[in-house]
Amino acid sequence: MKMPDPYWQMTYFSSRRRHSHRCWSCSKVVKEGESVLMARVGGKATRCMHEECASKPYADGFTGRDFLEAWGMEHLSAIGYREAASFMETSPISVAHRQTRNQLDNA
């Protein structure tokens, strides 16, 4: 089976939701009609960023788009896609965060 994209672009709508998403970069509530990038991160959970926010530096020299891709690939790896697992093993963003996590654990 073909692996789905780790994140996708869409125009946000929330007609059937009682709550709205918040942008993971600026923390503002995403309004209907705004252009966003979404990534599935587990089960039915998703993370969302405004398109403008996703192109700005987010952390450790990576953009928000890089993080959305990594979060999406991490989820796809967890549900069994081999391509995503190999991406996670070699991706600079996941390697950097594993090293940071190990440093915090050893401190």
Q: Measured in whole angstroms, how far is the alpha carbon of residue 28 from the centre of its chain?
A: 16
Quick check: 107 pLDDT over 70? no
pLDDT value for 60: 81
pTM of the model: 0.81
Whether 3 maps to a domain, the answer reads: no
Whether 43 maps to a domain, the answer reads: yes
Q: What mean pLDDT is predicted for residues 43-49?
A: 90
For residue 15, CA distances in Å to 19, 47, 71 come to 10, 18, 26
Q: Measured in whole angstroms, how far is the alpha carbon of residue 76 from the centre of its chain?
A: 11
Whether 24 maps to a domain, the answer reads: yes
Whether 1 maps to a domain, the answer reads: no
- pLDDT per residue as tens digits for the range 61-92: 889 999 999 999 999 999 999 999 998 888 88
When divided into structural domains, the chain yields a total of 1
Whether 2 maps to a domain, the answer reads: no
The order of strands in the sheet holding 35-42 is 8-11, 35-42, 45-50
Whether 78 maps to a domain, the answer reads: yes
Q: What range defines the domain where residue 15 resides?
A: 8-106
Whether 57 maps to a domain, the answer reads: yes
In DSSP notation, 15-34 reads TT-SS--BBTTT-PBPPTT-
